[in-house]
Chains A and B, each alone.
Chain A
Amino acid sequence: EPEVTQTPSHQVTQMGQEVILRCVPISNHLYFYWYRQILGQKVEFLVSFYNNEISEKSEIFDDQFSVERPDGSNFTLKIRSTKLEDSAMYFCASSDPGRTEAFFGQGTRLTVV
């Protein structure tokens, strides 16, 4: 069964460093998303991406964040100048434009120290 894959599964970084989280969406999907979940809190939307541009972004997704689809398969989330409060699980998701449901990757646990 096709699935969304994310790498790395766990990333530890020092405060102030830049990190890139990578995702390979399901191959025939065209809508891509990033969500995050701080430990013990709800899953929060960050950004959606379609046709090589951002469709929607939340208040969380400020200038510190950026997304890119560098090639035909990868979808990345870059976090510049990481802060302690960026520590969270980051989930990539994708969906097919003909269907309503989105499927999540297994997540990247980001720990900022």
Chain B
Amino acid sequence: QKEVEQNSGPLSVPEGAIASLNCTYSDRGSQSFFWYRQYSGKSPELIMFIYSNGDKEDGRFTAQLNKASQYVSLLIRDSQPSDSATYLCAVKRGTGTASKLTFGTGTRLQVTL
């Protein structure tokens, strides 16, 4: 069983629509959950993180966490062509510690005009 699973995509959404990206994880000891955006050939760029069940909003982005279902999602509202990238879900056992990030393979998002 993969530690962090994501649909590789591509997920294609029209400009202005909501993109919904999903992630499941296997380690019930995971405490922090991250979404990174990665453009081709570039480094992961932190979008947001969440560690409590429920929703967390930051601008056009909303992260959702359900620890009972071991499920994390990212919603991108009013999707723009510049949002086209690979979105990486990552989990971490600790908070504020040197614990490693465990990444999924990423979901490629394409925002079409």
Contact = CB atoms under 8 A, between A and B. Distances in A.
Interface residues of B, number: 26
Interface string B88-107: 10101011111111111110
A52 to B, nearest CB: 12
Contacts, number: 64
B44 interface: yes
Interface of B: 32, 34, 36, 42-46, 49, 51, 88, 90, 92, 94-106
A58 B99 CA distance: 12
A98 B100 CA distance: 15
Interface residues of A, number: 30
A4 B43 CA distance: 11
B88 A43 contact: yes
B100 A97 contact: no
User: Which residue, A58, A102, A105, has most C-beta atoms of chain B within 10 A?
Assistant: A102
A106 B45 CA distance: 9
